[in-house]
Structures are given as C-alpha cells and as structure tokens.
C-alpha cells in the first residue's frame, strides 16, 4: 500500500465507518454508543496509518496528540489513548535492519563499542527509534537509529504540502504559504542529519551543566543516522498527564515553561519539538529533556518584538500592537484590519502571562479554540487575515505546542515571572 493511499485511507475510513454507524442507528442502537465506537476505531486507525508512515505523517500525528486538549472530553478520550502512542511507540524496525544501519554508520565492528545492546526498541522518535545499550566504558546509553528512507518520506510529505499551497491560501488569504514550506524543508533537512542534532544537544548540555532544575544528557557519539547519548531515567510527561499528582503537574508545568523560555538565553537555541515524550521528571525533581533534532537558532535570544508586542497588548495599546505586527510581517501591507478588533483577538491568548499565576486547563484551551476556530465567528475571519513570517515559524510551533502540553498537564505557576525573566522586551511592563 503506497504512502498516498494510506493517507487517503484516513478520511475514507472515517467516512466508511460513519456510514456503518448510521446503519446501526437505524437498527435501533443508541447514537452515542455508535459515536463512541466510531471515534475509538477512527483513533486506532489513525495510530496505525500514521505510525506506519514514520515520516511527516507521524510528526503530524504527534502534533495532533498535543492538541487533543482542545477537543471536547467525550471526543478527546479515544484520540488521547491512540495518539499518545505516537509519542513513544511505533512499529519497530526488523533487527537485521537495525544491525545494518549500525554497521554502516559505526563500522563493521560496531558491537565492540558496546558492552551490551538491546535489540528491542525502548521508544520511537518521529524519524527513528531508540534502543537501550551499555557503552564500552560502562555508561548506560540511548542509541537513536534513523529509519531507512525517512529523509525522502519527510521531504515528500512537504512537497505534497507545497502542492496544496493554493488551497491553504483560500482558507487563510493573509497567509503566504510558499515561504513557510521552504522554511520547513530547510528545517527538515537539518533534522535528518543526526550530526547537527548532536551539535545542538552538546550546546544545550553545556548551557545547563550543573543546573539544579534542567538536565540534558551528554552526547557520546553521533553520525548522520545514529546518535548515542547518555541514558536518562524519569517519568515521561505523558504519564504525568495521565495520572500525575497536583504537585507533579505544577512542577512539570513550571519547569517546561522555564526551559523553553531560558533556552534562547542560555544556549542560543530553542528546543522546537515540545511533545510530552521529549520531557520527563527525574527522581531528583529536575526536568529531563531529550530529542534536539528540531531547534531554532537564536544566538541573540528570542526576538525582542515578541516581548514588546505582548506587553503592548496587555497594556491595551491597540494601535501600537497593529504597527508592530505590520512591521514584523504578521499583517501584510494590503490587509486592512481594525486595531481594536485585532487586540480583542489577541488579548485573551495572553492571559497566562498577564497575571501573577495562571492555571492552564483543557477548558481554557477549548474556549480559545472555539473562539478563534469557529468559521462563523468574527475572530476566525480576522485570524484568516493574519500572516506567519517564516522567521517565526518554529517559535509559533513551539508556543502553540507548549500551550497544548501545559493544558494537558493542568498545572499552575507564575508564567508571567518566567516571561519577564527570560523574554527580551517584556520586562518594562513592571515599570
């Protein structure tokens, strides 16, 4: 079955089961029972198809698993269970294929570099899988092995998106899609080279060396398609989301925000893949971070206009917000938007950093999703007029993804203080 056929099978499968569900309702079965079965089966098919593809589709599935917090609870349940699997599990590579990649990347005598190697994968990443091993010097290590063919698969997915650029423009006339696709292609090309990931991870590990709250594993060695790092035990955020204590949720929420705010300042990099499988609470209370394949290089820290825009919006200066958004390219020159309406669109999204403490929740995210996502609403119409400059692509993705995780965690913390501490341009709000 080809990749395109598998992707096409998602909506076709949903439609087919919807028809089946209609027949059962006619047969007298309660509609809500049929709907629940339909959702559960659709979620499972989504997991199977996206997991098999292993390329851009699996990354898409991981993104969906973050944003299930925006769905109504009766709909979210089945998707939560199936999509969370995509964060740390995928159909494994055959053992012979694993050994072949290791021999190609580390040499025919690759086994001599390990005291032991577990052929069963311990976890899956979006373009590879992770094995647990012991390095020759006795260190426990994680060995990430890239799926053969992952590169062409990912780039093929992006080319498909490029062909749909005109369709995207119809839905969002203010959005210039082609530069975004070009930026994504450049980022994906970087993510496929584990040597670049090793370089980024070393920079993060050095920046947080000795930190009392953040832990980044050391890199042992890396090639284009194999990356060996120190093993790190901990409780994945997916498990804390599923059953963590209030204290664990609050701690994880605070440290997740602190890491993502502080990375550009301390390492000159932004970790750009914020899904729960990449973070874990360690036994000593620190936040452990893995997977540095997707990063945004910000040697001067996060862009100052982000902080300044947030401060101006919280202060209610609609015209200044509009001027800044035009200057940064979020509102294109020929697009006419009322400044007060634009402020009304943006301001509720800043609630988490407008007050001393804030509790993220699924209900808050759902309310925002309904407010700006209902195609009949004025907010949705306004949102379609906004543009996303390519230089802000990863920052936007990280921000939205992190909000999704924080709403799943449901933790409370002083997020305003974190933004004030780390984000350039925001601190004058306290003056």
Query: Which of 35, 56, 87 finishes a domain?
Result: 87
* Tens digits of residue pLDDT in 390-399: 888 889 888 9
Residue 23 is assigned to a structural domain of this protein? yes
CA 267 to chain centre: 20
Same domain membership, residue 280 and residue 171: no
Alpha carbon dihedral 49, 51, 57, 61, in 10-degree steps, equals: 100
Span 351-355, average pLDDT = 94
Q: In the predicted model, is pLDDT for residue 35 greater than 60?
A: no
Residue 216 is assigned to a structural domain of this protein? no
Q: In the predicted model, is pLDDT for residue 23 greater than 50?
A: no
Same domain membership, residue 374 and residue 303: yes
Q: In the predicted model, is pLDDT for residue 48 greater than 70?
A: no
Residue 138 is assigned to a structural domain of this protein? no
Query: Which of 71, 87, 103 finishes a domain?
Result: 87
Span 49-65, average pLDDT = 49
Of 15-19, 172-176, 262-266, least confident by mean pLDDT is 15-19
Give residue 75's pLDDT. 53
Pairwise CA distance, residues 302 & 423, whole Å? 6
Q: In the predicted model, is pLDDT for residue 128 greater than 50?
A: yes
Single pTM value for the model: 0.79
> Which has the higher per-residue pLDDT, 182 or 253?
253
Residue 212 is assigned to a structural domain of this protein? no
Give residue 70's pLDDT. 56
Same domain membership, residue 420 and residue 299: yes
pLDDT category at 72 given cuts 50, 70, 90 is: low
Spell 197-210 as b/e; 16+ CB within 10 A means b.
Answer: bbebbbbbbebbee
Domain tally for the chain? 3
Same domain membership, residue 266 and residue 395: yes
Same domain membership, residue 254 and residue 184: no
Give residue 374's pLDDT. 74
Residue 104 is assigned to a structural domain of this protein? no
Residue 363 is assigned to a structural domain of this protein? yes
Give residue 26's pLDDT. 38
Same domain membership, residue 256 and residue 182: no
Q: Which domain, by its residues, includes 83? A: 3-87
Q: What is the mean pLDDT of the chain?
A: 80
* Tens digits of residue pLDDT in 332-344: 988 999 999 999 9
Give residue 205's pLDDT. 98
Q: In the predicted model, is pLDDT for residue 153 greater than 60?
A: yes
Residue 304 is assigned to a structural domain of this protein? yes
Same domain membership, residue 386 and residue 265: yes
Same domain membership, residue 242 and residue 163: no
Pairwise CA distance, residues 290 & 281, whole Å? 12
Residues contacting residue 325 through CB under 8 Å, at least 6 positions apart: 309, 331, 342, 386
Residue (of 410, 36, 360) closest to 242 by Cα position: 410
Same domain membership, residue 315 and residue 414: yes
Span 253-271, average pLDDT = 97
Residues paired with 279 in a beta bridge: 289
pLDDT category at 186 given cuts 50, 70, 90 is: confident
Same domain membership, residue 423 and residue 279: yes
Query: Which of 35, 62, 87 finishes a domain?
Result: 87
Same domain membership, residue 415 and residue 296: yes
Pairwise CA distance, residues 347 & 197, whole Å? 36
> Which has the higher per-residue pLDDT, 346 or 10?
346
Same domain membership, residue 335 and residue 404: yes
Residue 81 is assigned to a structural domain of this protein? yes
pLDDT category at 422 given cuts 50, 70, 90 is: very high
Q: In the predicted model, is pLDDT for residue 368 greater than 60?
A: yes
């Amino acid at each position: 079955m080809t990749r395109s056929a598998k992707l096409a099978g998602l909506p076709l499968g949903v439609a087919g089961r919807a028809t089946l569900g209609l027949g059962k309702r006619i047969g007298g079965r309660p509609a809500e029972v049929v709907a629940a079965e339909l959702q559960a089966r659709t979620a499972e098919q989504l997991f199977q198809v996206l997991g098999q593809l292993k390329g851009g589709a699996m990354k898409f599935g991981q993104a969906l698993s973050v944003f299930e917090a925006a769905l109504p609870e009766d709909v979210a349940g089945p998707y939560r269970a199936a999509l969370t699997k995509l964060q740390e599990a995928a159909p494994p590579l055959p053992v012979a294929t694993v050994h072949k990649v290791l021999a190609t990347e580390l040499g025919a005598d690759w086994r001599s570099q390990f005291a032991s190697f577990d052929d069963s994968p311990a976890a899956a990443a979006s373009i590879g899988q992770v094995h647990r091993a012991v390095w020759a010097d006795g260190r426990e290590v994680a060995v990430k092995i890239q799926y053969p063919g992952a590169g062409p698969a990912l780039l093929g997915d992006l080319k498909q998106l490029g062909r749909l650029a005109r369709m995207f423009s119809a839905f969002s006339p203010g959005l210039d899609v082609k530069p975004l696709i070009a930026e994504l292609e450049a980022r994906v090309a970087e993510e496929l080279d584990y040597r670049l990931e090793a370089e980024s991870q070393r920079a993060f590990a050095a920046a947080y060396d000795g930190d009392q709250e953040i832990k980044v594993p050391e890199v042992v060695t890396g090639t284009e398609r194999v990356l060996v790092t120190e093993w790190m035990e901990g409780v994945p955020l997916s498990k804390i989301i599923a059953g963590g204590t209030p204290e664990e949720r609050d701690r994880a929420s605070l440290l997740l925000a602190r890491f993502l705010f502080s990375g550009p300042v301390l390492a000159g990099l932004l970790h750009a893949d914020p899904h729960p499988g990449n973070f874990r609470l360690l036994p000593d209370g620190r936040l452990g971070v893995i997977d540095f394949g997707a990063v945004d290089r910000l040697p001067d820290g996060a862009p100052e206009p982000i902080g300044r825009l947030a401060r101006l919006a919280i202060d209610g200066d609609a015209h200044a917000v509009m001027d800044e958004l035009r200057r940064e390219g979020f509102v294109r020159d020929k697009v006419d938007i009322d400044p007060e309406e634009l402020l009304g669109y943006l301001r509720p999204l800043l609630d988490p950093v407008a007050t001393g403490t804030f509790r993220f929740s699924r209900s808050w995210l759902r309310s925002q999703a309904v407010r700006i996502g209902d195609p009949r609403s004025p907010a949705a119409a306004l949102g379609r007029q906004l543009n996303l400059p390519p230089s802000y692509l990863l920052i936007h993705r990280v921000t939205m993804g992190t909000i999704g995780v924080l709403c799943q965690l449901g933790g409370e913390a002083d997020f305003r203080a974190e933004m004030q501490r780390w984000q350039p341009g925001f601190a004058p709000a306290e003056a």
